Amino acid sequence: MKLLELVQLKLVTSLKDKDLLELADYTSEEVQGLLDLAMKLKVITKEGSCPPLLEGKTLGMIFEKNSTRTRISFEVGMNQLGGKGMYMNTRDLQIGRGESIHDTGHVLSGYLDGIMIRANSHEMVKELAEHASIPVINGLTDLTHPCQALADLETIAEEKSELKGLKLAYIGDGNNVAHSLVVACAHVGIDVVVATPKNYEPKEEFMKKAAEIALQNGSTVAHTYDPVEAAKDADVIYTDVWTSMGQEEEAAKRLQDFKGYQINDALVAHAKSDYMFLHCLPAHREEEVATSVIDGPNSFIFQQAENRLHAQKAVLASILGE
């Protein structure tokens, strides 16, 4: 019997033709369904049995920002599912010369089956979704990074099996990655503590929404300014760069403000001995994380990066599939 017959693929049918702008728009059941599907798709893909669930479908991929993981994982994911990913840089589109989002959304809807966009402005992506009659998937904005958070959950689930009751410490900048991560953790019952310097806290709207979701799933969401408090007894320690794309002018100030927040051997000593270290990449070794940690035995960063491919295939198959 073929592996595909043994692994029952269950698409999250409630997501068909639905946008993915942020995970707060999805139910906990939908997030768990995507997670289950992603892990099954990973198994069958590695066995060479990935079904052509998106045969004949084309995903337009719009990029305002440079990309390694997002571009390659979406394009390869579409190929593995039997479809096609079409790369489009905004400098090459009329949108880069002033064509309105309204017109762009309507035009692309006549050509494509879906749009993935990696953009500077979350509001622009929301506007595109409003005017496009095809699904829009957020590949990253200034506010959220939902596909990354799904890959993060997949990575944790592969290593820890049971997610509910785990503690995740996010230590660093309260940015777009943090916003999606706290919501994702809340959906699956992971207790999450975010530790940031003052003036770098995650936006209250995301912390509040995550807390509401967590309450339904028996978990907690908290913020602290103390990285040791966050790391204490953590099952997972997560960080991101201190200076994201577009913040280069703030780099010197941020280096000063984030002193004491580096993930190093002294800090991870407060976590559980079998803790997982995660980072969405790209990383600045010896800045937000010590080389001994990111390249150490508790680091799962490359498994995490690979899982972008499979988590996004779950999203694509559920949203664009029949």
CA 288 to chain CA centroid, Å, is 19
- 65 — pLDDT class (breaks 50, 70, 90): confident
Same domain, 181 and 283: yes
Q: Which domain holds residue 41?
A: 7-144+308-320
Lowest mean pLDDT among 29-43, 211-225, 234-248: 234-248
CATH code of the domain covering residue 48? 3.40.50.1370
Same domain, 202 and 108: no
Share of the chain above pLDDT 90, in %: 91
Instruction: Decide if 1 is inside a domain.
Output: no
Same domain, 276 and 220: yes
| Catalytic member of 50, 80, 118, 152 | 118
Distance, in Å, from the CA atom of 173 to the CA atom of 152, rounded to the nearest integer, reads 17
Same domain, 177 and 110: no
Give the pLDDT confidence of 213-226 residue by residue, as tens digits: 999 999 999 999 99
How many domains, the chain? 2
Instruction: Decide if 93 is inside a domain.
Output: yes
Q: What type of residue sits at position 178?
A: A
Question: Does residue 148 have an active-site annotation?
Answer: yes
Instruction: Decide if 83 is inside a domain.
Output: yes
Give the pLDDT confidence of 280-311 residue by residue, as tens digits: 999 999 999 999 999 999 999 999 999 999 99
| Catalytic member of 50, 147, 185, 280 | 280
Give the pLDDT confidence of 152-166 residue by residue, as tens digits: 999 999 999 999 999
pLDDT average, residue stretch 65-71: 93
Instruction: Decide if 2 is inside a domain.
Output: no
Helix axes 204-216, 176-188, angle to 10 degrees: 10
Instruction: Decide if 59 is inside a domain.
Output: yes
Same domain, 18 and 117: yes
| Catalytic member of 32, 142, 240, 310 | 240
Residue 262 has pLDDT above 90, yes or no: yes
Question: Does residue 71 have an active-site annotation?
Answer: no
Same domain, 67 and 23: yes
Return the pLDDT at 7.
58
Same domain, 293 and 315: no
Question: Does residue 254 have an active-site annotation?
Answer: no
| Catalytic member of 254, 308, 310, 312 | 308
Same domain, 75 and 122: yes
Question: Does residue 285 have an active-site annotation?
Answer: no
Same domain, 131 and 160: no
Return the pLDDT at 260.
96
| Catalytic member of 145, 179, 223, 310 | 145
The H-assigned helical ranges of 237-300 are: 251-257, 265-268, 291-294
Question: Does residue 103 have an active-site annotation?
Answer: no
Distance, in Å, from the CA atom of 189 to the CA atom of 215, rounded to the nearest integer, reads 9
Same domain, 271 and 166: yes
Give the pLDDT confidence of 172-200 residue by residue, as tens digits: 999 999 999 999 999 999 999 999 999 99
CA 163 to chain CA centroid, Å, is 17
Average pLDDT, the chain: 95
pLDDT average, residue stretch 114-125: 96
Give the pLDDT confidence of 77-95 residue by residue, as tens digits: 999 999 999 999 988 888 8
Same domain, 158 and 262: yes
Instruction: Decide if 20 is inside a domain.
Output: yes
Return the pLDDT at 6.
47
Same domain, 289 and 315: no
Question: Does residue 142 have an active-site annotation?
Answer: no
Length of the chain: 322
Q: What SS3 class is residue 37? A: helix
Distance, in Å, from the CA atom of 263 to the CA atom of 273, rounded to the nearest integer, reads 15
